[in-house]
């Protein structure tokens, strides 16, 4: 006797599918654009977060703020140091600790990386109204909070309605 196949829901009926679908495509756009500036999308995130710390920051602090492991931060930092974008120096107060700081070249690059991220957001979300954008942000932060992925960062998302710079690639 042959069993009847179970009814399964289509993959497109799952929100996780749509979150992944959208995330992959937007991240792919950002990755392509940051690579033109010589860094990966993950490296650009670390550079931008490090830019917020004038005196530099310890990798453990950056890991907490970004929701990444210290090992991941360490690997990113090593690559960025090789590229001449950050310095990894021993802490004066604790010789075992490292302090990461941007080099001059890193400081020059960060505004360009921010513009690329702003353009990518503007292109993908700029046509949505304020209400839908606030709903997306609220739901994403709720998922982070309820899933205990990490703390919910303070601040609000901002979407530039019309990119300030030309956007040539698709």
Domain boundaries in the chain? 13-146
pLDDT tens by residue, 117-141: 999 999 998 888 888 888 998 898 8
Q: From 44, 40, 32, select the one nearest 110 (Cα to Cα).
A: 44
- pLDDT for 2 beyond 90: no
Q: From 33, 26, 22, select the one nearest 169 (Cα to Cα).
A: 33
- pLDDT for 167 beyond 50: no
What is the longest distance spanned by two Cα atoms in the chain?
A: 76
Question: Cα angle vertex 60, ends 56, 62, to 5°?
Answer: 55
pLDDT-based confidence at 163, cuts 50/70/90? very low
The C-alpha atoms of residue 118 and residue 55 are separated, in whole angstroms, by: 25
Q: Which CATH class is domain 13-146?
A: mainly alpha
Least confident of 31-35, 45-49, 100-104, 159-163: 159-163
């Amino acid at each position: 006797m042959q069993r009847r196949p179970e009814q399964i829901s289509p993959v497109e009926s799952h929100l996780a599918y749509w979150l992944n679908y959208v995330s992959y495509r937007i991240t792919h756009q950002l990755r392509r654009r940051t690579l033109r500036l010589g860094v990966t999308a993950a490296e650009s995130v670390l550079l931008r977060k490090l830019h917020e710390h004038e005196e530099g920051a310890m990798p453990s602090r950056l890991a907490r703020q970004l929701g990444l492991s210290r090992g991941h931060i360490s690997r990113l930092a090593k690559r960025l140091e090789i590229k001449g974008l950050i310095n990894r120096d021993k802490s004066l107060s604790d010789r075992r600790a490292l302090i990461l700081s941007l080099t001059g070249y890193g400081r020059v690059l960060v505004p360009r990386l921010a513009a690329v991220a702003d353009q990518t957001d503007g292109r993908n979300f700029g046509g949505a109204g304020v209400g839908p954008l606030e709903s997306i942000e609220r739901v994403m932060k709720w998922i982070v909070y309820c899933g205990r992925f990490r703390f919910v960062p303070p601040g609000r998302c901002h979407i530039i309605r019309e990119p300030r710079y030309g956007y040539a690639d698709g």
